[in-house]
Amino acid sequence: MTTKTADILVAIVLSCFGLIVVWDSLRLGAGWGMGGPKGGFFPFIMAVIALAGCVVIVMQAMKGTSSVKGSKPFVPSGGMKPVLTVFLPACGMVLLTEVVGLYVSAMIYLAAYIRIVGGYRWRTVLLVSIPVPLVFYWLFEKIFLIPMPAGMFGAQILRF
Amino acid sequence: MDILTNLAFGLKVAGEPYNLMVAVAGLVLGVIVGVLPGLGGANGCAILIPVTFVMPPVAAVILLASLYWGALYGGCICSILFNIPGEPWAVATTFDGYPMAKKGQAGRALSAAFFAHFCGAILGTICLTFFSPLLAAFALRFGPPEVFGVMLLTFSAFVGLVGKSPVKTLVATAFGFIMAAVGIDIVSGELRMTFGLTPLMGGFNFIVAVIGLFGIGEILLTVEEGLKFEGVKVRMRWSDITSTLTDMKRYWKTLVLGSFVGVWMGFKPGGATPASFMAYGFAKEAMNEEERAQFGQGHVAGIFAPESAAHAAGTSAMIPMITLGIPGSPTAAVILGGLMIWGLQPGPMLFVDKPEFVWGLIASTWYGNIIGLFIVLAFAPAFAAVLRTPFPILMPLLIFICAIGAYAVNNRMIDIWYMMIFGVIGWAFKKLDYNMAPMLLALVLGDMAESAMRQSLIMSQGSLLIFLHPPITLPLVIAAAVIGSWPWLAPMVRRMRGKGAGKSAGH
């Protein structure tokens, strides 16, 4: 995908959001209500500005007057793989948090990432992935008294 | 003098052992955060805000402000030793900082940068101390239309002066305001843009947006570019510090100029980056032929100028934050958001209602910047070692810490997912030149801007003429209109001038 295509695509997605906002603000009323502007007034103006801006962005991209270089690939070759190797495991960690809680999920995530992506020895892997979440557990749950998500089973696993 | 009495009071507040301890902790964390890629002052403050819930507001603001100063100090370590600017305003420092480090003068380059920071900080803090009370006293007369005028000026400054694509800045700002409006409308109590979905009822939290846009997004950009952290090794010696002192005596004009440019530009939103480049340019211009040729090859003045400007700009960004409630930088925006969470109403009334808070903050700026200089001078090599942590270990740790910060704000699981989504948005927006600082600012100030606009219109019963009232609102709105349309006006002005010049030069 070239940067030009991405530029236009992002502008189109943004204008879809803009249209949804326009629709919702019209539902709330974008005009003058009882003694003051109605709830949809401010979002309506902002959405109209955003929509007009998106039109200009698409025009600039088409004419090649955009500030980004349109012919360049949006993701440089070989760039997508490292991005995904960071992003997908991170999403996996968040998903796992829903089940076993943040601390346990972080241990699994850290261990898996350092071992599989980093290729470190098990000793290094365990030295980082077990103590670090435990230190944060102690700091947040015991010192600052800020509870982290426990997921469905987290409370049963970490019980000290 | 009234101000000096207040400052003495503030120095007493900030000098309490607990507050000093908090300041040092903030500074150390700040330097680490400034050194690390993917974390910056704004991000560090955002992650720490939940921790500040257990503190009194004064200590809380001291912690965040100290983290800010620490991050400013720490940013240059990354750009000098690793040739990787941790923040956009550190780009100009890499021109001369990295060549110096390669020539084996890493210690001298670092100590030059730290002292330049210190000079910028001192001038910025002097302005913060003596200028803020005056501005706050003036701003006490502001009503909703004036507040709206200031907001308009702020955002048009972003559109007109900052960033590569004015129209994209405008769109990003509009979406910031839209995201701020999601949830319960504070005036009418109606639900807006929630579409019957419970997670949307709580709206979007700016802290989650900061962590996603600036944290996760920055991490994704870093891995995509495949940056390798291969830095120059450094040792700080006494001789580095003494030679910096001689350099300072020789190039004091560069330092003063840089600091002034910084204070002046930093007062306006998004000013630190242009300030650092301007200061670098001015410093180069002011040199003689021979020295100018050394610029870019490792000239110490090429470090003095951008670094003093960046720190001065960062400091003076606090002036509009504390007086008007309008932050001049993303980090100041996060601190302002913290203020609201601690239950303080930002704006000029702070000087009247919460003097211990305001003056504690100003005094801690003095302490923080002075202590900060000693911390970075003493421990620069240790901080640089943080960056040598192998990336496959550092990166998942950063994401874990970001997730903690995002969750802790509201204790909502959905916020961690929002953080990931904001990460992708940040990654794509940065590549397409969408400016995220005004988007963040709009998200923080959304409620304030909207209620200022609606209250003004209620006052005038719907007439837009209220925004054209002299003596304060009218100039603000005119200035906003001119600055905001500058990218479109400038070519016209140039064309007219060009024609005029063409005629006068006529053949």
pLDDT, tens digit (0-9, with 9 covering 90-100), for A131-142? 999 999 988 888
Q: Is the pLDDT of residue A100 over 60?
A: yes
**DSSP H or E stretch at residue B100:** helix B91-100
Question: Contact at 8 Å (CB) between B93 and B303?
Answer: yes
DSSP B284-342: HHHS-HHHHHHTTS--THHHHHHHHHHHHHHHHTHHHHHHHS--SSHHHHHHHHHHHHT
Strands B183-184 and B191-192: antiparallel
Cα separation of A30 and B184, whole Å?
16
Q: Is A17 on the interface with B (CB under 8 A)?
A: yes
Question: Contact at 8 Å (CB) between B185 and A39?
Answer: yes
The radius of gyration of chain A's CA atoms, rounded to the nearest angstrom, is 24
Q: Give the pLDDT score at B506.
A: 38
Question: Contact at 8 Å (CB) between B439 and B428?
Answer: no
- Which residues from chain A sit within 8 angstroms of residue B54, using beta carbons? 144-145
CA-nearest of B465, B507, B370, B419 to B205 is: B419
Number of alpha helices (DSSP H) and beta strands (DSSP E) in chain A: 7, 0
Q: Which residue has the tokens 């994401």?
A: B399
Q: Do A89 and B396 touch (CB under 8 A)?
A: yes
Question: Measured between CA atoms, how close is A45 to chain B, in angstroms?
Answer: 9
DSSP B357-405: HHHHHHHHHHHHHHHHHHHHHHHHHHHHHHTTS-HHHHHHHHHHHHHHH
Question: Measured between CA atoms, how close is A13 to chain B, in angstroms?
Answer: 12
Q: Do A24 and B192 touch (CB under 8 A)?
A: yes
Q: Is A43 on the interface with B (CB under 8 A)?
A: yes
Question: Contact at 8 Å (CB) between B327 and B306?
Answer: no
Cα separation of B249 and B236, whole Å?
20
Q: Is the pLDDT of residue A50 over 90?
A: yes
Search chain B and give the residue with CA nearest A77: B224
Task: Read off the tokens for B394.
Answer: 């550092």
- Which residues from chain B sit within 8 angstroms of residue A37, using beta carbons? 453-454, 457-458, 462
Give the closest of A25, A68, A145 to B432, CB-based: A68
Question: Contact at 8 Å (CB) between B398 and B219?
Answer: yes
Cα separation of B139 and B146, whole Å?
9
Cα separation of A143 and A131, whole Å?
17
Of the candidate ranges A61-65, A156-160, B76-80, B328-332, the one whose mean pLDDT is the lowest:
A156-160
- Which residues from chain A sit within 8 angstroms of residue B417, using beta carbons? 94
Give bridge partners of residue B191 from the DSSP assignment: B184
Contacts of B301 (CB under 8 A, 6+ apart): B96, B251, B254, B283, B287, B291, B295
CA-nearest of B260, B301, B280, B251 to B89 is: B280
DSSP symbol at A148: P
Q: Distance between the two ends of chain B, CA-based, in angstroms?
A: 64
Q: Is the pLDDT of residue A30 over 90?
A: no
The single-letter code of the amino acid at B117 is: H
Cα separation of B217 and A62, whole Å?
27
Q: Is A133 on the interface with B (CB under 8 A)?
A: yes
Q: Give the pLDDT score at B38.
A: 66
> Residue A159: helix, strand or coil by DSSP?
coil
Search chain A and give the residue with CA nearest B171: A50
C-alpha angle A38-B180-B142 in degrees, rounded to nearest 5: 75
Distance of alpha carbon B299 from its chain centroid, rounded?
27
Q: Which residue has the tokens 């803090």?
A: B125
Going residue by residue through chain B (507 aa), what tens digit of pLDDT does each one get?
588 888 888 888 888 899 999 999 999 999 998 888 667 888 889 989 888 888 899 999 999 999 999 998 888 888 888 887 777 778 888 888 888 888 888 888 889 999 999 999 999 999 999 999 889 888 888 888 888 888 888 888 888 877 788 899 999 999 999 999 998 887 778 888 888 788 888 888 888 998 999 889 888 988 887 766 666 777 777 888 888 888 888 888 888 988 998 988 887 776 778 888 888 888 888 888 878 888 888 888 888 999 999 999 999 989 998 898 888 888 888 999 898 888 888 888 888 888 889 999 999 999 999 999 999 988 888 888 887 788 888 889 989 999 998 998 888 899 999 999 999 999 999 889 898 888 988 998 888 888 888 888 888 887 888 888 778 888 888 888 888 888 888 888 888 877 654 444 434
The single-letter code of the amino acid at B405 is: G
Question: Contact at 8 Å (CB) between B492 and B498?
Answer: no
Global confidence as pTM: 0.87
Q: What is the mean pLDDT of residues A12-39?
A: 88
* Higher-confidence position of A93 and A37: A93
Cα separation of B401 and B416, whole Å?
11
CA-nearest of B260, B254, B253, B292 to B275 is: B260
Phi, psi (rounded to 5 degrees) for A37: -65, 145
- Provide the 10 A C-beta neighbour count for residue A144: 15
